[in-house]
Amino acid sequence: MSDKSTDDYWKANIRIITISMVIWALVSFGFGIVFRPLLSGIPIGGTDLGFWFAQQGSILTFIVLIFYYTWYMNRLDHEFGVEE
Amino acid sequence: MSQFAINLIFVGASFALYIGIAIWARAGSTADFYAASRGVNPIVNGAATAADWMSAASFISMAGLIAFVGYGNSTFLMGWTGGYVLLALLLAPYLRKFGRFTVPDFIGDRFYSQTARIVAVISLLVMSITYVIGQMTGAGVAFSRFLEVTNTTGLFIASAVVFIYAVLGGMKGITYTQLAQYCVLIVAYTIPAVFISLQLTGNPLPQLGLFSTHTESGQPLLQTLNEVLVELGFNDYTGMHAPQNTLNMVLFTLSLMIGTAGLPHVIIRFFTVPKVADARKSAGWALVFIALLYTVAPAVGAMARLNIITTIYPDGIDQPSLAFDAKPDWMLNWEQTGLLRFEDKNGDGMIQYYNEANPPQIAIDEGWEGNEMVTFNQDILVLANPEIAQLPGWVIGLIAAGGLAAALSTAAGLLLAISSAVSHDLIKSIINPGISEKGELLAARISMAFAIALATYLGLNPPGFAAQVVALAFGLAASSLFPAIMMGIFSKKMNSSGAIAGMIVGLGSTVLYIFTYLGWFFIPGTNMLPNTPDNWFFGISPLSFGAVGAMLNFITAYLVMKMTAPAPEHIQELVESIRVPKGAGAAVDH
């Protein structure tokens, strides 16, 4: 495996990590806390969308994020020939 | 059959199962003892991680924390789950590729420094020992309530059981008992929640029930809860209220997330899977298993809060409330523990429950003389839940076994982290590098036995500040270990001076901030500023400072690195190699 492809592999990894971390922060700190007032117009079962994100939505998003990352990285490992 | 006999059967059967597993999964080598020979299926490891992570605090305390604060304590839900995203994306796969047995192992080797290794060992020991005290006292409380033995006897039984499977089986025994303990605790937590959700909303899934229509009032459950709370002078459930504020909420959540990802007893679980790809997948499964409890907990909290109010005011706040001599059995049972207490302040023979600090109109009109539910310990909420919902006796037995499973599984994981830090990082890496494999295994077993003895002693004589020290454990993990590990992977040039300076500044600032408000070494009266929101720096509570400490760690490490020589070539090559999964099998031992 050449150094070029190691670099590219790592760059692709950093890119997907960055995107995932933005979503991670957006659903918890964003929708759940800081931007909650902006979501207060969207009612959910006696409260608003921000409350749902704080108590349930962020956790569900975290699960999807990890499995998506796992799937993406398995594909990337294969593409660059670095899987075990 | 009496409730005592039922509890005994459930707890006894679960303990017999754990001991059976321990005999089946004995450890024959140090690889077995520290990492279950890296042969654990990633889904099994996910369940074991979930049990390892979910402690007495998650099982017993969390629903109560949410029930009595509402939205403001969503921080615990997001913080204690969001850390797994950090683990899966930033730490677990690379640490697995590195292929050693402990967290100080990584820090010592990556920063080519015994000083860094020792700083890591000290952080690990302080945070794990403080954490284990809470588990042992939790197990003691569960024993004394459900098995009618004294706290001391309960603690000794718990220690004996942990001793058998932890000393015999090490990581291998602990992994498979944790799998069994996960099953026990999740069933125990879910069954009462399903029944309560059915009773209140007609929806069997508590996750949906929380946002469904309350059958009795015909409007959404949370709206009903908000209304009755406001009627009684309390804060509404779904809003944010002082002393909570947006900045503090963000920082506290972030501290819990980073702290979770930096806890050594959680990190070492990812050393047990066969491949790097399995470490990623395993973190996902761990979060699935954790979410099964963490999405039920807020429903349990809200529904129990409503249930308590409707038990006291069966026909609404303006109608006669519950009479003292008509108290249901669960109130009488828990009053005996002192965790629940009523006092008829106005002598009318009926219980009035409301917010004294902000009395509703009716309290003034009727001349109520104060809130008469004087004590309601938040920890009894989950344990009393089946009784509050009038569920059959076997559900109560199940809750007893579940609470013990949660406490014991976490205790075992912590004890393993402690003993491997002593036998592997102190004895093998620093004091006696020439020790044989057999000698190291024996040392690991002896340090495990010592760790159990220490935990039992501290459980019997808990320092008065145990709760605050658990918060310190998260602050330490967040401000010292997490940044060091992350920089070790993501910055090739990060050198030993930078990492050590970073850990010391992160750790030091966090400890200093906590001691400023909570007292030096938690000694009451030695705090330099009163622990109130007005005095907090930018409104940041001492418990939320871990995230700030972590940032100071990153900044210091970066600045020091810029001023000193970058990490040597062979270390940079090491970092290159841990960044790709290929070749993990070869790097298993050293």
> Locate tokens 């395993």: which residue?
B282
Contact B282, B36 (CB under 8 A): no
Where in chain A are the domains? 3-79
Q: How confident is the model at residue A6 (pLDDT cuts 50, 70, 90)?
A: confident
Q: Is the dihedral of CA A70, A75, A77, A83 positive or negative?
A: positive
Mean pLDDT of B41-68: 93
Beta-bridge mates of residue A45 = none
Q: Does B72 touch chain A (CB under 8 A)?
A: no
- Spell out which residues of chain A touch residue B90, defining contact as CB-CB under 8 Å: 17
Contact B156, B453 (CB under 8 A): no
HSE (CB half, 13 Å, CA atoms) of B335? Answer: 12
**Position B425 pLDDT exceeds 70:** yes
> In this predicted model, what pLDDT tens digit does every residue of B549-578 receive, in sequence order?
999 999 999 999 999 999 999 999 999 999
Contact B165, B173 (CB under 8 A): yes
**Position B585 pLDDT exceeds 60:** no
Residue B141 neighbours by CB under 8 Å, 6+ apart: B151, B379
**Position B137 pLDDT exceeds 50:** yes
**Position B138 pLDDT exceeds 80:** no
Residue of A2, A42, A44, A51 to mutate, testing the B interface (most B Cβ within 10 Å of its Cβ): A51
Encoded amino acid at A80, one letter: F
Q: Which among B132, B126, B124, B146 is positioned nearest to B462, based on CA atoms?
A: B132
Q: Distance between CA B567 and CA B22 in Å, rounded?
A: 44
- Spell out which residues of chain A touch residue B301, defining contact as CB-CB under 8 Å: none
Note the pLDDT of residue B498: 97
* Peptide bond before residue B243 is cis, with ω within 30 degrees of 0: yes
Across the interface, do A59 and B291 touch by the CB < 8 Å criterion? yes
**Position B325 pLDDT exceeds 50:** yes
Q: Distance between CA A34 and CA A50 in Å, rounded?
A: 9
**Position B466 pLDDT exceeds 70:** no
Contact B92, B270 (CB under 8 A): yes
Q: Is the dihedral of CA B252, B229, B236, B533 positive or negative?
A: negative
Q: Calculate the average pLDDT of chain B.
A: 91
ipTM: 0.96
When CB atoms are compared, the residue of A10, A21, A29 closest to B579 is A10
3-state secondary structure string across B448-464: HHHHHHHHHHHHHCCCC
When CB atoms are compared, the residue of A32, A56, A84 closest to B295 is A56
Q: Distance between CA A79 and CA A59 in Å, rounded?
A: 30
Q: How many CB atoms lie within 10 A of CB B9?
A: 14
Query: B151-201 and B297-312 are packed helices; what angle lies between their axes, rounded to 10 degrees?
Result: 80
Show the CA angle centred on residue B91, arms to residues B124 and B418, nearest 5°. Answer: 20
Domains and their CATH numbers in chain B? 3-302+391-460 (1.10.4160), 304-382 (no CATH)
- The two tokens of residue B10 are 């459930």
HSE (CB half, 13 Å, CA atoms) of A51? Answer: 25
CA distances from A62 to A22, B74, B264, B363, B491 (A): 12, 15, 21, 45, 25
DSSP code of residue B373:
E
Contact B22, B177 (CB under 8 A): yes
Note the pLDDT of residue B569: 96
Q: Does A66 touch chain B (CB under 8 A)?
A: yes
- Spell out which residues of chain B touch residue A58, defining contact as CB-CB under 8 Å: 77-78, 81-82
